[in-house]
A and B are shown apart, each in its own frame.
Chain A
Amino acid sequence: MSADHPPFPEPNSPERIELLFDLAAGLLDEATVERFTAELTESEYQEIEDQRSVNAMLATAPAVTMEDDERAALREMIRSEASSRTNLLGFKMPERRWSRSNWAGIGGVAASLLLVVVAGGFVLGGLGTAGDDAASSVAADAAATTTMQAEMMEESAASDEDRSLSAPATAAAESLQAIPEPEDGSGVAAVEDVSVIRESDVEDLLAETPPGPRPYNPENLLCRDEIDSEDVTFGYLGRWADESGDRLNAVMFKIERGLEASVQVLDTADCSLLFELDK
Chain B
Amino acid sequence: MTDRELIDRFVGGDQSAFTQLMQNHEDRVFGLCLRMLRDRTKALDATQETFLTLYRKADKYHGKSAFSTWLYRVAVNTCYDQLRKEKRKRADALPAHLDPIDPHVTDEMRAVELRPDIESALATLQPEFRSAVILVDMEGHSLETAAEMLAVPIGTVKSRVFRGRRILASSLGNLSNPSTPPRDDRG
Contact of A70 among B44, B114, B185 (CB under 8 A): B44
**A258 contacts B162, C-beta separation under 8 Å:** no
Q: Mark B90-111, 1 if CB is under 8 A from A, else 0.
A: 0000000000001111010000
Q: A22-B158, A57-B118, A89-B56 are in contact. Are A98 and B138 (CB under 8 A)?
A: no
Measured in the bound complex, the distance between the Cα atoms of B165 and A82 in whole Å is: 39
Answer yes or no: B69 CB below 8 A from chain A CBs: no
Residue interface bits A3-41, CB-to-B below 8 A is 1, else 0: 000000000001001101110100000000000000000
| Nearest A residue to B103, CB-CB | A101
Interface size class of A (residues with CB under 8 A): 35 or more
Complex: A100 Cα to B80 Cα, angstroms: 21
A74, B48: Cβ atoms closer than 8 Å: yes
Cβ contact within 8 Å between B31 and A55: no
Task: Say which residue of A51, A63, A74, A257 sits within 8 Å of B31 (CB atoms).
Answer: A63
User: What count of chain B residues pass the 8 Å CB interface test?
Assistant: 65
The reply to whether the CB of A225 lies closer than 8 angstroms to some CB of chain B is no
CA distance in complex: A70, B31 (Å)? 13
B48:A97 contact, CB within 8 angstroms? yes
Tell me the smallest distance from the CB of A93 to a CB of chain B, in Å: 6
Q: Give the docked Cα–Cα distance between A63 and B49 (Å).
A: 21
Q: How far, in angstroms, from A75 to B169 measured CA to CA in the complex? A: 38
0/1 per residue, B73-86, Cβ < 8 Å to A?
00011001101110
A151 within 8 A of B: no
Please tell me if A62 contacts chain B, counting CB pairs below 8 Å. yes
Q: List 21 A-B contacts (CB under 8 A).
A: A17-B163, A18-B155, A18-B158, A20-B162, A51-B169, A57-B118, A57-B172, A58-B133, A59-B138, A61-B138, A63-B27, A66-B27, A75-B19, A78-B55, A89-B56, A95-B85, A98-B48, A100-B107, A101-B103, A230-B60, A258-B151
